[in-house]
């Protein structure tokens, strides 16, 4: 450990960054997980630049296998063919990551205390407990509070994760919104909450247009908790697919408590919860009464109750939609854990 705490470098190649975004992740998530493992500071660098070559205690690379081998050469390692003829590193036994199955490498760059982790392209979130344990000698991860609020509202030292979500090691005050304190992705946490209750989820989506079901389906094993979803973008779809009374839409508008509650109630039953979303993502379509960023979210539970909330989200169309997905998960997780 260096004086003043562990300094980590998270180094992504362009292909690594593309793989990360394809999985719906941002570098902020990796940075936060490294901090939970004990890194005092984490610099995020691109492999194609030279900034990553400055001193650090931990180096974590996420790149193609060919790029990782070039990194290994930089650290003085030598290539050696494995038994199957594929390339490997001399004197270093690889370990296997899943989804897809592939080899990764970890070594200490002795005599210095530097630790180097080479992670090839693929799932990087699901196996994170394993590769984080290599860096911090199997020490328990520190609490990492995932807070569904804007980064501008975060305490000093917090890590922005994505639009409408940040991570912090500082416990928020009692009563503050917290998704979880274990550094879990929103979809991971929702999957755990559904499994605890033995329930499956349904989604009725207007402005998010399938974003809720898509995000939950990122998780391996999501078929055990994800039942179905309706994309009901038009008023006609809300009426014909979910049975929302046309008179209700005419009276209150599609973006209203009454309509999202009717959507959620229609999709839920004794074995299924249903979350519904309807909003104005922009950049047009708003009014003085319902400006751009207005989003209504409702959750119907198996006991027949329906809970709803209205948000006014800032940002671009994509950011409003992302914030709506996060807060929909937050609403449902909170209700499921409260009634467990």
CATH number of the domain enclosing 29: 3.40.980.10
Name the residue among 143, 150, 186, 128 with its Cα closest to residue 10: 128
Examine the domain organization and report whether 165 and 195 are in the same domain: no
DSSP state of 140: P
Rounded CA gap, 72 and 75, in Å? 5
Regarding whether 159 and 220 lie in a shared domain, the answer is no
Say yes or no: 177 and 220 in one domain: no
In this prediction, residues 37-44 reach a mean pLDDT of 97
In a shared domain, residues 109 and 243: no
* 251-279 average pLDDT score: 98
**Predicted local confidence at residue 176, as pLDDT:** 87
Average pLDDT, rounded, for the chain: 95
Q: How far apart are CA 150 and CA 282, in angstroms?
A: 19
- Domain limits for position 14: 6-135
Do the Cβ atoms of 107 and 77 come closer than 8 Å? yes
Cα radius of gyration (the chain): 23
User: What percentage of the chain reaches a pLDDT higher than 90?
Assistant: 91
Tell me, what's the pLDDT at 1? 40
Residue 281's closest CA among 328, 315, 234, 230? 315
From 72, 106, 135, the end of a domain falls on 135
Stated length of the chain: 340
Q: Residue 340 has what pLDDT?
A: 62
Mean pLDDT of 166-172: 95
pLDDT band at 3 (very low <50, low <70, confident <90, very high): very low
Single out the residue of 62, 50, 54 nearest to residue 8, CA to CA. 54
Convert the pLDDT of each residue in 196-245 to its tens digit: 999 999 999 999 999 999 999 999 999 999 999 999 999 999 999 999 99
What's the burial of 67, exposed, middle or buried (CB within 10 Å: 0-12/13-18/19+)?
A: buried
pTM of the entire predicted model: 0.95
Assess contact for 214 and 208: CB atoms under 8 A: no
- Split at pLDDT 50, 70, 90, the class of 118 is very high
Q: What is the pLDDT of residue 4?
A: 54
């Amino acid at each position: 450990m260096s004086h003043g705490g562990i300094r980590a470098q998270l180094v992504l190649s362009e292909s690594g960054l593309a793989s990360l975004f394809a999985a719906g992740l941002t570098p902020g998530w990796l940075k936060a997980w490294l901090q939970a493992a004990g890194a005092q500071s984490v610099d995020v660098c691109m492999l194609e630049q030279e900034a990553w070559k400055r001193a650090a205690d931990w180096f974590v690379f996420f790149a193609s296998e060919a790029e990782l081998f070039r990194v290994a050469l930089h650290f003085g390692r030598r290539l050696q063919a494995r038994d199957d003829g594929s390339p490997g590193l001399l004197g270093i036994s690889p370990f296997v990551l899943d989804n897809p199955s592939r080899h990764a490498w970890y070594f200490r760059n002795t005599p210095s205390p530097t630790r180097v982790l080479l992670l090839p392209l693929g799932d990087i979130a699901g196996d994170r407990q394993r590769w984080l344990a290599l860096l911090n000698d199997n020490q328990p991860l520190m609490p990492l509070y995932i807070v569904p609020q804007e980064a501008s509202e975060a305490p000093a030292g917090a890590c922005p994760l994505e639009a409408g979500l940040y991570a912090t090691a500082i416990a928020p005050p009692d009563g503050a919104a917290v998704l979880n304190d274990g550094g879990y992705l929103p979809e991971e946490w929702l999957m755990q909450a559904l499994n605890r209750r033995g329930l499956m989820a349904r989604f009725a989506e207007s402005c998010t247009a399938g974003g809720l079901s898509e995000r939950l389906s990122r998780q391996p094993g999501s078929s055990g908790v994800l039942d179905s979803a309706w994309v009901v973008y038009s008023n006609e779809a809300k009426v014909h697919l979910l049975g929302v009374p046309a008179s209700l839409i005419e009276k209150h508008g599609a973006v209203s408590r009454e309509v999202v509650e009717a959507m959620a109630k229609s999709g839920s039953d004794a074995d299924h919860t249903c979350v519904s979303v309807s909003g104005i993502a922009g950049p047009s379509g708003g009014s003085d009464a319902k400006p751009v960023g207005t989003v209504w979210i409702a959750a119907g539970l198996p006991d027949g109750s329906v809970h709803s909330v209205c948000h006014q989200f800032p940002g671009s169309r994509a950011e409003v939609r992302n914030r709506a997905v996060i807060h929909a998960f937050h609403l449902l997780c909170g209700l499921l854990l409260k009634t467990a």
